[in-house]
Amino acid sequence: MRGNVFTRIVYADNSPADLARLRDRFPGVEFVQPASNERPDGVHYGYSEIQLVDSALDAAGVSGRFVKATGRLTFPTLPKMLRKLDAADVAVIDCRFNYRDRSVASATQVMVFDAAWWRNRLGGRLDWFRPALRRTHAEDFIYAHVAPRRHDPGVRLRFPVNVEPVGHGAQWGEDYSSYRNKAVALARSATRALAPAIWV
Using pLDDT thresholds of 50, 70 and 90, give the confidence band for residue 171.
Answer: low
Q: What is the mean pLDDT of residues 168-172?
A: 66
For the cut 90, the answer to whether the pLDDT of residue 72 exceeds it is: no
The mean per-residue pLDDT over the stretch 119-147 comes to: 96
Burial classification of residue 93, based on how many CB atoms lie within 10 Å of its CB (0-12 exposed, 13-18 middle, 19 or more buried):
buried
Residue 63 scores a pLDDT above 60: yes
Least reliable range by pLDDT among 13-27, 33-47, 122-136: 33-47
**143, 105 in Cβ contact below 8 A?**
yes
The full set of domain ranges for the chain reads 10-194
Cα atoms in the Cβ-side hemisphere of radius 13 Å centred on 46: 19
pLDDT at 170: 63
Taking 90 as the threshold, does the pLDDT of residue 200 lie above it? no
Q: Which CATH number fits domain 10-194: 2.20.25, 3.30.1420, 3.90.550, 3.30.310?
A: 3.90.550
Total-model pTM:
0.90
Kindly provide the residue ranges of all beta strands, DSSP E only, lying in the chain, ordered along the sequence: 10-12, 30-32, 65-69, 91-98, 103-114, 155-156
Task: Of 101, 98, 68, give the one whose Cα is nearest residue 184.
Answer: 98
